[in-house]
Amino acid sequence: MSRRRHRPRLPSSSIKRGRRRSHPWRFAVAVAGVAAAAFLTVVYWPLDEEFERLAPKLEQMLAAEPEPEPETGAAAAPTADRFACEVAYVNDGDTLRCEDGTRIRLHAVAARESDETCSPGHPCPTASAASATAELRRLASNRTIRCERIGQSYNRITAICWTPADVEINCAMIRSGTTVVWDRFNRERAICRS
């Protein structure tokens, strides 16, 4: 009879513990290795063929004439600073409200307050507040005007606006004699330029 070698058996709990300890880090190293290999493949992929294919198009794009600058006049296409206002209400001689709730303060224009006073430090026209309000109503009420945002005054947008007939409302208010130019703001961005 042949002798079989008898190997002592290890308790199953020690085998499981050994596998638990070695398994997570081996898996993590394998995943990290695959990720690193994929990253390096993408980063260092030979681009010579792709570059040669795209080079003529790139040269053509660089040699092309630049696109013309956008129009700067009042009739230019709407941008973030240009918007339409469907006038819902004229507050006084220099402020109006659009249908969407936007409040517009005419840039560089000073009118008397509704109570016929002028705020301290503000230019004060000789014309009455009622005449300025009537003039702004004549120019803008129930019309869709175009405006260019210049800044912010309290919760109002300061803007230069045009009627549908391309009449600059800010300038028309000054020329009517019912308001005056507010020089401080006119120096920042002049009205009556056309």
The predicted-structure confidence for 155-173, as pLDDT tens digits, reads as follows 899 999 999 999 999 999 9
Q: Is the pTM of this model over 0.75?
A: no
Within 8 A by CB and 6+ apart from 79, the residues are 70
Q: Is the pLDDT of residue 13 over 60?
A: no
The torsion region of residue 142 among left (phi > 0), alpha (psi -120 to 50) and beta comes to: left
pLDDT tier for residue 69 given thresholds of 50, 70 and 90: very low
The dihedral through the CA atoms of 173, 179, 180, 182 has a sign that is negative
DSSP-derived pairing of the beta strands 144-153 and 109-110: unpaired
Average pLDDT, the chain: 80
pLDDT tier for residue 71 given thresholds of 50, 70 and 90: very low
Report the range of poorest mean pLDDT among 67-76, 94-103, 130-139, 163-172. 67-76
Question: CB burial class (10 A; 0-12, 13-18, 19+) of residue 103?
Answer: middle
Report the percent of the chain where pLDDT is more than 70. 63
What is the C-alpha separation between 34 and 97, in angstroms, rounded?
A: 63
DSSP-derived pairing of the beta strands 95-98 and 82-90: antiparallel
The DSSP 8-state label assigned to residue 58 in this structure reads: H
In three-state secondary structure terms, 157 is: strand
Report the range of poorest mean pLDDT among 57-61, 133-137, 139-143. 57-61
Q: What is the pLDDT of residue 68?
A: 43
What is the C-alpha separation between 97 and 79, in angstroms, rounded?
A: 20
Q: What is the pLDDT of residue 76?
A: 46
The DSSP 8-state label assigned to residue 175 in this structure reads: H
The dihedral through the CA atoms of 34, 35, 38, 41 has a sign that is negative
The dihedral through the CA atoms of 154, 80, 139, 108 has a sign that is positive
Q: Which amino acid is at 182?
A: W
